[in-house]
A and B are shown apart, each in its own frame.
Chain A
Amino acid sequence: MAEVATQTAHQDGHHDHEEPSFWSKYVFSTDHKIIGFQYLFTGLAMAIIGGFFSYVFRMQLAFPGSSVPFYGVVSPAAYNMLITNHGTIMIFWVAMPVLIAALGNFLIPLMIGCDDMVFPKLNRLSYQIFLLSTIVLIASFFVPQGGFGGAWTSYTPLSAKAEYNGTPFGAPLWLLAVTLEIVAFLIGGINFITTTMNARAKGMKLYDIPMVVWMIVIASILFMASVGPLVAGAVMLFFDQVLGTSFFDPAAGGDPVLWQHLFWFFGHPEVYVVLLPAMGVVAEIMCTFARKKLFGYKMILYSSVGLGILSFFVWAHHQFISGVDPRAAYLFTTTTLLISIPVAIMLFAFIATLWGGSIKFNTPMLFAMAFLGEFLIGGVTGIWLGSSGVDVYLHDTYFVLAHFHYTFVPIAVIAVFAAIYYWFPKMFGRMMNDTWGKIHFWGTIIPFNGIFLPLFVLGASGQHRRIYNFQNFPDLASENFQDLRIFATGSLIVLILFQIPFFVNFIVSLKRGEKASRNPWKSNTLEWVAPSPPPHGNFGDELPVVYRGPYEYSVEDREEDYWPQNQPPQAAARS
Chain B
Amino acid sequence: MAHQIIATSRSASGIPTGRLAVWWVVGSEIVIFGGLIAAYLLNRFLHGSWAQSAGHTSTLIGGINTFWLLTSSFFVVLAHAASEKRDIRTTRKFLWLTILLGGFFMLFKTYEYAVKIEGGYTLFTSNFWSFYYTATGLHGFHVLCGMVIMAIIAERDIKQGKNWHRVENIGIYWHFVDIVWIFLFPLLYIAK
Instruction: Report if A197-B5 is in contact (Cβ < 8 Å); known contacts: A230-B35, A232-B32, A244-B124.
Output: no
- Least distance between A238 CB and chain B CB atoms (Å): 10
Q: Are A200 and B31 in contact (CB under 8 A)?
A: no
Tell me if A1 counts as interface (CB < 8 A to partner B): yes
Residues of B within 8 A of A4 (CB): 1-2, 4
Q: Mark B85-128, 1 if CB is under 8 A from A, else 0.
A: 00000000000000000000000000000000000000110110
Residue of A nearest to B21 (CB): A194
Q: Are B3 and A197 in contact (CB under 8 A)?
A: no
Q: Are B35 and A245 in contact (CB under 8 A)?
A: no
- Least distance between B142 CB and chain A CB atoms (Å): 13
Tell me if B183 counts as interface (CB < 8 A to partner A): no
Q: Give Cα A14 to B32, complex, Å.
A: 43
Q: Are B12 and A253 in contact (CB under 8 A)?
A: no
Q: Are A229 and B31 in contact (CB under 8 A)?
A: yes
Residue of B nearest to A258 (CB): B39
Quick one: which of B28, B35, B43, B131 contacts A262, CB cutoff 8 A? B35
Q: Are A2 and B31 in contact (CB under 8 A)?
A: no
Residue of A nearest to B16 (CB): A198
Q: Give Cα A198 to B34, complex, Å.
A: 28
Quick one: which of A13, A233, A255 contacts B2, CB cutoff 8 A? A13
Q: Mark B38-73, 1 if CB is under 8 A from A, else 0.
A: 110011001100000000000000000000000000
Tell me if A173 counts as interface (CB < 8 A to partner B): no
Residues of A within 8 A of B28 (CB): 186, 190, 224-225, 227-228
Q: For chain B residues 15-31, which have a beta carbon within 8 Å of chain A?
A: 15, 17, 20-21, 24-25, 27-31
Tell me if A243 counts as interface (CB < 8 A to partner B): yes
Q: Are A195 and B7 in contact (CB under 8 A)?
A: yes
Residues of A within 8 A of B38 (CB): 229
Q: Are A118 and B10 in contact (CB under 8 A)?
A: yes
Q: Give Cα A262 to B37, complex, Å.
A: 12
Tell me if A493 counts as interface (CB < 8 A to partner B): no
Quick one: which of B35, B43, B134 contacts A231, CB cutoff 8 A? B35
Residues of B within 8 A of A227 (CB): 28, 31
Q: Are A225 and B31 in contact (CB under 8 A)?
A: yes
- Least distance between A166 CB and chain B CB atoms (Å): 23
Instruction: Report if A253-B35 is in contact (Cβ < 8 Å); known contacts: A186-B28, A199-B10.
Output: no
Residue of B nearest to A255 (CB): B43
Tell me if A506 counts as interface (CB < 8 A to partner B): no
Q: Are A193 and B7 in contact (CB under 8 A)?
A: no
Q: Are B21 and A17 in contact (CB under 8 A)?
A: no
Instruction: Report if A119-B127 is in contact (Cβ < 8 Å); known contacts: A190-B24, A197-B20.
Output: no
Q: Give Cα A440 to B134, complex, Å.
A: 51
Q: Are A228 and B10 in contact (CB under 8 A)?
A: no
Q: Are A194 and B24 in contact (CB under 8 A)?
A: yes
Q: For chain B residues 117-169, which have a beta carbon within 8 Å of chain A?
A: 123-124, 126-127, 130-131, 134, 138
Tell me if A472 counts as interface (CB < 8 A to partner B): no
Residue of A nearest to B14 (CB): A198
- Least distance between B22 CB and chain A CB atoms (Å): 9
Tell me if A412 counts as interface (CB < 8 A to partner B): no
Tell me if B36 counts as interface (CB < 8 A to partner A): yes
Q: Are A200 and B7 in contact (CB under 8 A)?
A: no
Tell me if A8 counts as interface (CB < 8 A to partner B): yes
Q: Are B17 and A198 in contact (CB under 8 A)?
A: yes
Q: Are B4 and A232 in contact (CB under 8 A)?
A: no
Residue of A nearest to B1 (CB): A1
- Least distance between B153 CB and chain A CB atoms (Å): 16
Tell me if A226 counts as interface (CB < 8 A to partner B): yes
Q: Mark A203-246, 1 if CB is under 8 A from B, else 0.
A: 01000000000000000000011111111110110010001111
Q: Are A5 and B24 in contact (CB under 8 A)?
A: no
Q: Are B6 and A8 in contact (CB under 8 A)?
A: no
Q: Are A200 and B42 in contact (CB under 8 A)?
A: no
Q: Are A536 and B123 in contact (CB under 8 A)?
A: no
Q: Are A536 and B3 in contact (CB under 8 A)?
A: yes
Instruction: Report if A232-B33 is in contact (Cβ < 8 Å); known contacts: A5-B4, A239-B134.
Output: yes
Interface size, chain A (Cβ < 8 Å): 61
Instruction: Report if A13-B32 is in contact (Cβ < 8 Å); known contacts: A197-B13, A235-B134, A245-B123.
Output: no
Tell me if A109 counts as interface (CB < 8 A to partner B): yes
Q: Are A190 and B34 in contact (CB under 8 A)?
A: no
Quick one: which of B7, B24, B127 contacts A117, CB cutoff 8 A? B7
Instruction: Report if A9-B130 is in contact (Cβ < 8 Å); known contacts: A114-B7, A198-B11, A245-B124.
Output: no
Q: Are B35 and A198 in contact (CB under 8 A)?
A: no
Tell me if A543 counts as interface (CB < 8 A to partner B): yes
Q: Are A226 and B3 in contact (CB under 8 A)?
A: no
Q: Are A252 and B12 in contact (CB under 8 A)?
A: no
Q: Are A232 and B21 in contact (CB under 8 A)?
A: no
Q: Are B31 and A226 in contact (CB under 8 A)?
A: yes
Residue of B nearest to A229 (CB): B35
Q: Are A229 and B12 in contact (CB under 8 A)?
A: no
Q: Give Cα A517 to B46, complex, Å.
A: 65
Residues of A within 8 A of B34 (CB): 228-229
Q: Are A262 and B39 in contact (CB under 8 A)?
A: yes
- Least distance between B20 CB and chain A CB atoms (Å): 5
Q: Are B35 and A9 in contact (CB under 8 A)?
A: no
Residues of A within 8 A of B33 (CB): 228, 232
Tell me if A511 counts as interface (CB < 8 A to partner B): no
Residues of A within 8 A of B134 (CB): 235-236, 239, 245
Tell me if A120 counts as interface (CB < 8 A to partner B): yes
Q: Give Cα A157 to B4, complex, Å.
A: 53
Q: Are A109 and B7 in contact (CB under 8 A)?
A: yes
Tell me if A254 counts as interface (CB < 8 A to partner B): yes
- Least distance between B173 CB and chain A CB atoms (Å): 13
Q: Give Cα A239 to B127, complex, Å.
A: 12
- Least distance between A19 CB and chain B CB atoms (Å): 11
Q: Are A13 and B12 in contact (CB under 8 A)?
A: no
- Least distance between A226 CB and chain B CB atoms (Å): 7
Interface centre among B20, B29, B131 (most CB of A within 10 A): B20
Residues of A within 8 A of B7 (CB): 109, 114-118, 120, 195, 199
Name 18 extra pairs, CB < 8 A, besides A198-B11, A232-B36.
A2-B4, A2-B8, A13-B2, A114-B6, A118-B21, A191-B21, A193-B24, A194-B21, A226-B31, A228-B32, A233-B35, A236-B36, A245-B124, A245-B130, A246-B127, A253-B126, A253-B127, A543-B6
Q: List 9 A-B residue pairs with CB atoms under 8 Å apart, sorted by A's residue number.
A: A8-B2, A20-B1, A194-B21, A199-B17, A224-B28, A229-B32, A236-B134, A245-B124, A245-B134
Residues of B within 8 A of A (CB): 1-8, 10-13, 15, 17, 20-21, 24-25, 27-36, 38-39, 42-43, 46-47, 123-124, 126-127, 130-131, 134, 138
Closest 10 CB pairs of A and B: A229-B35, A228-B31, A13-B2, A5-B4, A13-B3, A537-B3, A228-B32, A232-B36, A9-B4, A232-B35
